[in-house]
Structure 1
Amino acid sequence: MSKDKKFLPNFIKQNINLRISISVIFLMLIIPAFITFIFYSYRTNYLIYKQNAINLVVRANEESIHSLIEFLDPIVDAVRVTSKMVASNPELINQEKITEHSIVNLENNLNVVSYFLSSKDGSFRQVQRTNQAIPIAGRVPPDGSQYVSWVIDRSKNQNGESTYTFFKSWGDVIAKFTSPNKYDPRERPFYKGITKNFSEGKFDIPLIEDPYFTNSTKQAVISISHPITVSNQLLGSVTAQVKVASFADFLLKNKISKNSQTIIFNEQGDVIVHPEVNLGFIKEKDTLVPRKIVDLDSSPASVAKKIYDQIGSKQIEFTFGENKVPYLANFNSFPANYIKPWIVMTVVPLDDFMAELNIINQRLIIFGIFAFILITFLTFYFSKLISKPLESLTTEIQNIFTFKSDDYPQVTSSIYEISTLSNAIKRLKSTIAAFTSYVPKDLVNDLLSSGKAIELGGESRYLTVLFSDLKDFSTLSEITPSRELLLRVSSYLELMTYAIKEEGGTIDKFIGDSVMAFWGAPLLDQNHAYHACVAAFKTKRRMVFLNEKLVAEEKPPLVVRIGIHSDAVLVGNIGSAERLSYTVMGDGVNIAARLEGINKEFNTDICISHSLFKEAGERLWVRPIDQITVKGRKGELIIYELMGIQDGDAETAPTEIEKELCIFTKKAFDLYMNGSYVEALVIYEDLVLRFDDGLAAVMVAKCRNKIN
């Protein structure tokens, strides 16, 4: 009883230590991984959303400029067309016909509130929309009026009166009156700007003014003017007035997000258009005083503009307010060749784009906490499940190494690896016990404790071997100068080397004009036979181009013959400590070399073995050559000629003639193998006649020998 008490605490101590060790190690790995995963996921998602937000702001800012140009261009085109029309008939300035044209322009563009012509003699003809709340020359517009024209004709009288005519539509006059004139368009900024441009040689350049207050419409407008010129003489100008509010509405409708702001300002930093119209300027009596963006009461826009002025970057990230809210800002100028060098600024709080990200991150954290709790529970459970049988197995292994013969019961476990380990230890124990009956225990113990590994020079592996050489190379070498021969052979070897490397092969050696290569070592290649065939056929195709070049140089072409075989061979480092070679050896190598030579007997180019055909034949275009006996092998084997690759690219696909040769040669060969030599002879002779096929010619002779 006392012995059991002594043993039990020690066992419990070991059990607890192992379990805690597994649990602590696992948790030490999982907690940093979990925290890293959460942080990485959050950071990655944040950067993705942030980059998307930046891209969106940049794109929206650029699109704002394009949209503003599209907003302005029809108005610019309208005043340009009118100026050209008047230039072709200057009398129109003082004719009512131009009033009809102006009304049509107002009807065609609802953003334009006023349309007028000014002449160099001070004449003025304006058409604007009426508003019951805005008096015209001290009078309330009559009911039903839609437009009012204001005409000052100085062509006859320099102190001409102002004539006002109210229209429901063109030709439908509701009221008309005159009043003394105090207005001279030539004194207005728009006309002075046109005159200045004209004096600088800008005869056909529109003028867009910054916002100003107009008494006729009692609102802030931006005017777009175009000079009227005849024979390089300034006759006057055509002007369209657009409400600043229309620009502001345009910016509001094209907001990128709920809290975004797009502001137009000039090179001096003056606000041209603010989405909240009254923030863009200060009205003093009937004059607009532009505001600076930097003076917009410490708004995000003012902060962005200050940073922009300091660093000059188009893309800005900054924080605003006591809570350090992150903002994105983007600045872009109107095109350099555009009428006004305005700048468009888009400012957006980053949180406008992060709502979905926050939801994703909340779910990620909740899921992570739940997963962490579950993993912790499973860790303690499986640590117990693993630790108890491992302790018993550890004790039994220690007994094996010390040759203790204590007979412990076999450990059982529902875990496959532990159960397998228990069975292996039991067999190891039985094996060592039997081994020690033949070998001294001291020697066995030394072998067990040293753990020395046995190193071999090679291993047996099933792979594919390729041999190649050039036809009639000996004759060629006798009639060709050495340097020229070297260059020509090098061209062929380079071509073949590339083909082999492209298909993952290993070049063993070059032997004169011969190449030896193999596939399937040192790296395993499940498709070694197929890749060897693709490399061989690429070589055949590329030799055509090489020979075309040689023939063009009046040199004899080169014909390459290839043999390929798949077999189990010895592969590894062979040699001595001074010199090692990674190569293949075995009967399979000899067969590949023999197949290369067989090409000569059958007038073929690429000869493959039946074992290779079994490996990759369904992916190849081949035709049977003959059934032969190979030296060193019992029995006969069928050999084939490679004619192309199925489902390959254009380089390795067979021609229609090659496909026909495959089909009809197969039929002839089947007849030949069945003893129907006469029928086979007919097909082979037909192939010789139709295609001048060398293999068929050889088989014709064989068939005739069989028949005779």
Structure 2
Amino acid sequence: MRLGFSTVVQVLFITMMIITVTLVAATGYNQARSGVVEVGTQVIDGALEKTRERFSERYTETGDRLALLASALTGLDPVEQRDDVLRSLWELTRQSPLHQSSFMAGADGLLLEARSLPNPATRFVPPGDPEAREEWAYRDANFGVMTRLKKPRAEYPLAAQRLADGAAPEDMRFSNVHPLSLTGEPGITVSRPVHDTDGSLTGIVGIEVPLAQLDSLVRAGMLGDESVLLIISDADEVIAHPLGPAPGQAGRDPGELMKVTELRQEWIGEAWTRLREGTQAQGNSEVTLLDLDAGNYFVQTKRLTEHLDDDWHLFLMVSDHAVLAGVNRGLHTSVTLALIMMIVAGYVIFVTAGQLTRPLRQMVDNARLLEQLRFGELKPVHAEFNEFRALDRSLRQMASSLMAFNRYVPTSLLGRLLSEKHEAELGAESRPLVLLNTGINQFNKLGAQMGAEEQAEYLTRYQREVFEAVHRNGGSIDKFIDDRVIAFWGAPDAAENDTYHACTAALECQAAIQQLSQALRWENHPAMAVRIGLHRDVCMVGNFGSEDRMFYSVVGSAVSVNQWLGNLNRRYGTTILASEAIREETAGDFVWRWIDRAEQVEQEGGFDVYELCGHGADPGLAQRRDYIARYEAALALRVHEGKLDEALDQFYALHEQYPGDTAVAWQVKRIRATVEDEKA
């Protein structure tokens, strides 16, 4: 591999810059990372402790509210004064979003309950009679009764069930997680006993707290989007989390909790398991950095409460990206400053190298453009050295010579000569080509009416339109002979769609000459009409002439056939006629009309000739297709079946409908002449 001078300089400079920046950045990053990790550990520990204190305060507040309620209900008859009791329960329920319902229950089956969901309501179950129906009152925001209903007995809160079963109430009890009586979702019940003035047990009061309400408190304790905070029990069950449902959650029994290993984020379960293996006896741990599948995380756990039979733990995970964000920004800043310093230091080197390599690179680019014959894209070379300017002048003189040479030979041939890098030699090869031949109708007669300059301009404008159509479609001009233009496709390089491009060029040429004819009439010049022939056959193509003067051309009988096809347009009043070889390759792309089976001197038997009517997708040819079918059917009667009378009748019908079709008139004339010859 060969490298330029500028490339070598740049590679050396970049290598030196990378080594320097890497050493400086690595040293600074390691020092800063150690300090930030220490500070980040303290922040994580402090944040988790504040969250634990916040949860403890919430549960302490709940216990205090229950104690105040139990004190307020002391001495009240819950049956006779149930409205006062229900109002107190109602107010307790509305004091916190954690409270789903509050209740008072007695050992004799008495139950008074205030609910916040799904509609604010109070519930009263009379004592003593297990068959008695419950009394429900749906209330507005001011405790006003909107409607009263009596319903069959529903499920009691867990603490009320325990009391009805004879369990002795504790001073303050936090239940294990269980399905709540209101919604069936997992939750806990906080309860405490209520005594009469003489100290005898009246019943219990309690609050149902759904675990879903804890999710909002968990989110409030998170340290940004790159952290995760959960409450997990000693049994590895997820009490609260902000992560969404776990797989299989829909099929769980009411009140059943998922395991931490069942979370969609499997790396959380991995972190919990690894941290618990090293956790101290009291359930707390130091901040630890773990390498997980999802990345590196700082993790810590703290014991949340001792009220439950199974302790709960706060489990916090923080991505190291969040902790080290400041260090990373500092690293980026350091690297940026180092790069700026290196760029400034190397500026002189780049300027010096540029003075030498820039003009060389520009001239190399220009030489490549010349090789690709893209003369119009050459760019000027700005150089401070005389040698570079002289070389640039030589390249431009070469470009001018090649542009002049390209006017005389096909562009594809010139490109091959440049790419193959050897001299042109006499010789030809036999290969299939697509030929196009054009001519101006009655050109000799029109030319006799013009002066020399007018005739030259008339002919030049026509040849320009033909050349542009051929050039746009990838063809090569063989020669201009008087009003004839001969073009070909398939040499020196062939393409699969050469026939299609030749037909397209013929249609574009036809349209361009029609527009040119209108312009000529406006300029008081004779109108112009062309005839075009298309043919595909094997030809001889190559370099002909002598060693000193040669030309690239096409020769062979196919050229004569193509000229004969173009001249046949005069007989049938058409513009574009093609051989059957052309029509067969493009039958699906264009609309063709079988115009006749003509006799050709160099070919025995008939020669099927087709008129190119237009592109197959042209909507303007929809009506003409029916006419073409009728014409070809009549022609088949004459050519294939020899039914001249029937063919004549059909051509007469076409002639009456389309009297301007010269091809129909020719068929009528020919059939009549044949019939008369047979009678004679």
TM range (shorter): 0.3 to 0.5
TM-score (norm 1): 0.42
TM-score (norm 2): 0.43
Rg: which structure is higher?
Answer: 2
